Amino acid sequence: MALLKRRILTPYEQYLRFALASLKPCIHFGNTPCTHVNCSHTCKKNGYCIDCLNDILTNDNSITSRLREYSCENITYSYVLRYLNRYASEIYHLFEKAQFTQRQVVNIISLGCGPATELVGFESIYHKMNPTGIINFFGFDTNSIWSSCQNQLGRIYNSYNVNCTFFNQVLLPDNQFLKNTDLLILNYVVSHIHKHVNTSDKSIREKAVESFLNTIISPIFDNMPSRSILLINDTNSYNLGRNQIEKWTRSQSQKASSLITGLYPNPDKPYARFNHNNTIMQDVSLVYQKSSPYDKYQISIDSCGSAFILIKKR
């Protein structure tokens, strides 16, 4: 009897498997508070840092929440297990009908890339449409805690015509890669900046976002080539910098040949619309099927939910 061939895992599945295998049991499980910086939780999930993720990601004005950052590797693995499906699915659907995927070589820069969930989504749809295409992905993030996830993702994609390079540094406007960039992605970056300014004063946090967009992103966008695309995909909330994104986008209108603003509607709660030209995504489903043993980490993660802006440069 011929042996059955083992099914080859997709990059998405390989990344989840890595994250789950990398979770380390917590010595504080159900006992004493964690000793990591700014963490006061008693571990309830034996290494799965759901409480810490909630501190980092939810819109909470408490000092404890604002000071929480991605400060240990277990948090990074927990992030991949919980959010990879949603964040990759959002990117997948955005490029599902785009002619962009017909390019034979695509050069992507992701600013504040973290674990690069956006690459997983883009690669899935790109190679579905263009199986022999090549992706050159350059990820920039100043927090080195993500390096374990980034290095593993690079190894996973070695066999998929994807070249991954990660930099633990700020992306500067004169960076050599910008002149050949096809796509610049800011994936859940603006809301992170807004949330983690160390003040409860909303106006100061909004000014921090405005400063980031005007002093960092504007000159970067200026140095991108004609017909390149800037994608900002983020939390659909008026309270996490989205108004500042829309204001900045209007200031760039003369540089753009096309501009798309839109969102994934959430039927369970009211959602915020942009002031003009809303594209309402019809498919909000998760692209990747939930399966054991990973589904327990994705409880209540059932659909896409972001707001996005796509700017094509003249």
CB 141 within 8 A of CB 114: yes
pLDDT in tens, 89-122: 999 999 997 878 889 999 999 999 999 999 999 9
**Higher model confidence: residue 86 or residue 202?**
86
Question: Would you say residue 1 has pLDDT above 50?
Answer: no
Question: Would you say residue 309 has pLDDT above 80?
Answer: yes
Domain map (residue ranges) of the chain: 85-313
Question: Would you say residue 35 has pLDDT above 90?
Answer: no
What residues pair up with 137 in beta bridges, in sequence order?
A: 108, 164
pLDDT band at residue 277, thresholds of 50, 70 and 90? Answer: confident
Minimum mean pLDDT range among 145-154, 168-177, 273-282, 296-305:
273-282
**Higher model confidence: residue 36 or residue 96?**
96
pLDDT band at residue 2, thresholds of 50, 70 and 90? Answer: low
Q: Which CATH number fits domain 85-313: 3.40.50.720, 3.40.50.10240, 3.40.50.150, 3.10.100.10?
A: 3.40.50.150
**Higher model confidence: residue 274 or residue 264?**
264
Place of tokens 């000071």: 67
**Higher model confidence: residue 291 or residue 240?**
291
Tell me what pLDDT residue 222 has: 95
Q: Taking Cα atoms as reference points, which of 260, 251, 264 lies closest to residue 312?
A: 260
Tell me what pLDDT residue 160 has: 96
pLDDT in tens, 217-237: 999 999 999 999 999 999 887
List, in order, residues 6 or more apart from 290 with CB less than 8 Å away.
Answer: 85, 298
Question: Would you say residue 256 has pLDDT above 70?
Answer: yes
Tell me what pLDDT residue 32 has: 74
CB 244 within 8 A of CB 206: yes
Dist CA 303 CA 43 (whole Å): 27
CB 95 within 8 A of CB 222: no
Q: Is 58 exposed, middle or buried (0-12, 13-18, 19+ CB in 10 A)?
A: exposed
3-state helix, strand and coil shares in percent for the chain, rounded to the nearest 5: 40, 15, 40
pLDDT band at residue 65, thresholds of 50, 70 and 90? Answer: low
Dist CA 179 CA 149 (whole Å): 27
pLDDT average, residue stretch 255-266: 89
pLDDT in tens, 4-18: 567 789 999 999 999
Question: Would you say residue 293 has pLDDT above 60?
Answer: yes
Question: Would you say residue 82 has pLDDT above 70?
Answer: yes
pLDDT band at residue 270, thresholds of 50, 70 and 90? Answer: low
Question: Would you say residue 3 has pLDDT above 60?
Answer: no
Tell me what pLDDT residue 200 has: 73
